[in-house]
Copies of this chain bind each other. A is one copy, B any other.
Amino acid sequence: MVQGAVESYLEELSDLVSFPSISSNPKYKEDVRKCSNFLQEKFADLGAKTEIVETSGHPLVVSDISNYDDALTLAFYGHYDVQPIASPEDWKTDPFTLVEDNGKLYGRGTSDDKGNLLTAVKAAEIALEEDLRLNFQFIIEGEEESGSPNFESGLKKSRDMLDPDVVIVADGGWVSKDIPSIEYGLRGLLYMHWNLRTAGKNAHSGAVGGPARNPLLELFDVVCKCLDSDTGEIKIPEIYDDVKEASSEELEHWIGTKFSVEEFKESYQLEKLRFEDKAKVLKSLWARPTFEVHGCVGGYMERDSKMTLLPSDGQLHVSMRLVPDQDPKMVFEKIRNFVGDKNPDIEVKSVSHVEPYLTDFNSPMVKAAAESLEETFEKPAARIRSGGSIGAVPIMNRVFGGGDIIIMSFGLPEHGAHGPNEYFTKEMAKGGMEAYLNFFESLEGEK
């Protein structure tokens, strides 16, 4: 069954990739719309009730194929929008033409998320042909790469059609190519701008330097008070108060996986780490908050040149990845108070936030998914958390009022999601369909 589906998978992926559905650029609004229509037709062909849910942004495509009153309902979450093409010159092929080369499927969105998403859709298609006693629903958004700003309102609008027992997020992937992975937790995110203005205009540093304040130096100073940059330990009082420690069982499982610190460094081209102990690396990736500065605006921002003006203002792009049970709003208040105490002239603005998510490491659903991966790929599967954030997950958790949400998907670090020459592989698409089918079979008659 799966072998045959791979052929039509390639055709449909080729169609999907051909839409430049870049959600963050208004220029592509019509292409995003066309891509949503294409999906709706695809689901209609499968016999689904399907709807384009309008939002103030790009539409959500929701579909329901519920043939059994007494069967489990699985909902797949995915997105049909893609990242922009930041450096066209780095692409060896046209980003919006699917090119197959030696099993690799090149094109924007092949890995994130069109190829992953289509793997799930095709698996459901096979399950329907095989009359598996399961119901399928699909929640496909068009603004994931733009931070899912309208996902919650869209989801609430389509609440009548959707009532899943379990949600499978078909976005993301494995920790490395040898470790089939199920993600049962995600970090949250708090994104801030820290602004400080000390003068009406830039000034000659010779004419004012000494008595004049330097906004960049003052911002750096507060950052240093927030963080030990060597260890990554955050020094803001009470910031770890709500952090739920990873259980010893989880930690042991993580350490038992084939995760390799050396491979991790290699795949991200990291020269050395803050620490290289495997347990510490995994814990700090998945179960500890981070504090990062992503950039500093102000003064002179051109590389290798020279300017002696004293900047009149500065802005830091600051983020924190959050872990269960940290509440982004409470964390923000702690930071704002701390920064305000150290330097009352700094304005701390919250730009956006995503809640962390965690389901039970030992949930039967998580275990069943892991077993399906092991069976399919004949390798030990890892139950891990993700260090990243998916805004839709805590939203679905809230709107659906509980139930498991697991991230079961097939992207690999080397696929280069968001970068140039993004690809997915035929092998992962085929394996992914098989794994989903194994998972479906294990769930038949579960209700």
Q: Mark A136-162, 1 if CB is under 8 A from B, else 0.
A: 000000000001000000000000000
Partner of A218, one of B217, B229, B271: B229
List of B residues within 8 angstroms of A303 by Cβ: 297, 315
List of B residues within 8 angstroms of A232 by Cβ: 210-211
Q: Mark A286-326, 1 if CB is under 8 A from B, else 0.
A: 00101011111111111110111111100101010100000
Q: How far, in whole Å, are A80 and B274 apart by their CA atoms in the complex?
A: 53
List of B residues within 8 angstroms of A293 by Cβ: 214, 216-217, 220, 299
The answer to whether A209 and B301 touch across the interface, beta carbons within 8 angstroms, is no
A224 to chain B, nearest CB (A): 4
A248 to chain B, nearest CB (A): 19
Q: Mark A181-204, 1 if CB is under 8 A from B, else 0.
A: 000000101010100011111011
The answer to whether B317 and A300 touch across the interface, beta carbons within 8 angstroms, is yes
Q: How far, in whole Å, are A207 and B282 apart by their CA atoms in the complex?
A: 11
| Interface check A387, CB cutoff 8 A | yes
The answer to whether A204 and B388 touch across the interface, beta carbons within 8 angstroms, is yes
| Interface check A269, CB cutoff 8 A | yes
Task: Tell me the residues in window 412-431 of chain A with beta carbons closer than 8 Å to chain B beta carbons.
Answer: 413, 418
Q: How far, in whole Å, are A197 and B270 apart by their CA atoms in the complex?
A: 10
| Interface check A447, CB cutoff 8 A | no
A90 to chain B, nearest CB (A): 11
| Interface check A221, CB cutoff 8 A | yes
Q: How many copies does the complex hold?
A: 2
Partner of A209, one of B193, B321, B418: B321
List of B residues within 8 angstroms of A221 by Cβ: 224, 229-230
A219 to chain B, nearest CB (A): 8
List of B residues within 8 angstroms of A230 by Cβ: 218, 221
Partner of A304, one of B193, B296, B307: B193
| Interface check A281, CB cutoff 8 A | yes
Closest B residue by C-beta to A224: B224
List of B residues within 8 angstroms of A6 by Cβ: none
A171 to chain B, nearest CB (A): 13
The answer to whether A271 and B216 touch across the interface, beta carbons within 8 angstroms, is no
A113 to chain B, nearest CB (A): 15
The answer to whether B297 and A302 touch across the interface, beta carbons within 8 angstroms, is yes
| Interface check A401, CB cutoff 8 A | no
* A to B CB contacts below 8 Å, 8 in the list: A208-B264, A210-B288, A210-B321, A211-B232, A217-B293, A294-B300, A295-B311, A297-B302
